[in-house]
Amino acid sequence: MEVLAEQGHLLIVLACIFGFFMAWGVGANDVANAMGTSVGAKALTMKQAILIAMIFEFLGAYLAGGEVTSTIRKGIIDPAILSDSPQLLAYGMLASLLAAGIWLLIASVMGWPVSTTHTIVGAIIGFAVAGIGPDAVKWSKVWQIFASWVISPLLAGLISYMLYKSVRKLILDSPDPFDRAQTWIPFYMFAVGFLISMVTLVKGLKYVLSDNDLNLGFAECSLWAGVIGLIIAFFGRSLLHRVHRSSSPDPENQAATVEKIFAILMVFTACSMAFAHGSNDVANAVGPLAAVVGVVQSGAIAVKTMMPGWILLLGAIGIVIGLATYGYRVMATIGKNITHLTPSRGFAAELAAATTVVLASATGIPVSTTHTLVGAVLGIGCARGISTMNLRLVGSIVTSWVVTLPAGALLSILFFHALRKLFE
């Protein structure tokens, strides 16, 4: 307790530095995975993808990142175990941030697409088990998180499979794909706008605004989300009219024209994927930071505190800088190498992954965006046929996920004991 009173300011400064470092790693590694489908499908250039991700990752992190952050900062560790020694939680969260940041730096330099969620959850579990004891971990919550890592890619794969099948039935396999694309794609755009708006209004803004500023019921949120979805659909429809039917009777030229329409749609799904990723994965960086700030300011653990907006802001800025400075190194893996993506396929993968991640964010469950996006891309591969997928690469990616969790845990244990010796 004396440490919190005497060294509290230093602990908060270290938490901000380590949290920003971790957020940089999220931007450098995980955001690149999230935007890889857009680049791989050639719907966006690398520069365009980075620009879109910078804007919408920031908005997702700041406007809708609070629910998952709550789980990361107080849902994994049992506060009752540490009620007499809250400083141990501060050391552990600092160690987890530093461990996760270093592992993400290594992975980004090597070009490995790893899971930032695996890294931080593994780091928190590692310090808690080795530094405090197995009883310090809320294992029921941990198993729920572990289950989500299996369920989320399966769900995303199922959604992407159904989306792509619907695209084939409604548009691609119709007698006049160009005309059908002009008719049906605005409905998909509406779904993107409604989904993102709904989760922001229902779950996200309460961490940015006070109760007096925003007090909307579910029906009102649905109405506003519908209005926003319609605006996006009408805006998208105006862009679609700029694509003209090919004058060539060659079916390949006609198909290429239809893919241009889907490329416009993919701009919208890329925005939704970036927003979804920011809303879920900012928690990996700022959840432990918020826990340290809460412990130092209150001197205890089991105190319900409001998530400070500046913490979400710090995480959002860190993600954007990480993406802009280093994200290009790992962006191509998922988008180009698992299965060949066209805009129509990439759209289904991105919207499926974004839907899964946004729903997880709304329920407060931290899922792996990398898992989810790989699952969505695999769903597209299944719809096209197993032979179209690079299963060897998929195996390598899964192996990197397996290595990530123990790597984060071991580094966290090491840093936890070092910080404990340094401050005590």
For the stretch 102-113, pLDDT in tens is 999 988 777 677
Segment 183-233, tens digit of pLDDT: 999 998 898 888 777 766 765 555 455 444 556 677 787 898 899 999 989
DSSP assignment, residue 200? I
Nearest to 150 by CA among 195, 125, 100, 115: 115
- Does residue 90 register a pLDDT over 70? yes
Mean pLDDT value of segment 97-126: 85
pLDDT of residue 6: 80
Read off the pLDDT band of 11 (50, 70, 90). Answer: very high
Q: And the tokens for 416?
A: 């936890």
What is the distance between the alpha carbons of residues 221 and 210, in angstroms, rounded to a whole number?
16
What is the distance between the alpha carbons of residues 63 and 215, in angstroms, rounded to a whole number?
15
Find out whether 283 and 69 touch, Cβ atoms under 8 Å.
Answer: yes
| pTM greater than the 0.95 cutoff | no
- Report the largest interatomic distance among the alpha carbons of the chain, rounded to a whole angstrom: 80
Q: Which amino acid, residue 260?
A: K
Q: And the tokens for 27?
A: 């931007």
CA 276-71-1 angle, to 5 degrees, is 135
Find out whether 309 and 207 touch, Cβ atoms under 8 Å.
Answer: yes
Q: And the tokens for 295?
A: 């412990």
Tell which wins on pLDDT, 111 or 234: 234
> How far separated are the first and last CA of the chain, in Å rounded?
11
Find out whether 118 and 405 touch, Cβ atoms under 8 Å.
Answer: yes
Residues 6 or more apart whose Cβ sits within 8 Å of residue 222: 198
Segment 131-152, tens digit of pLDDT: 888 888 888 878 877 787 788 8
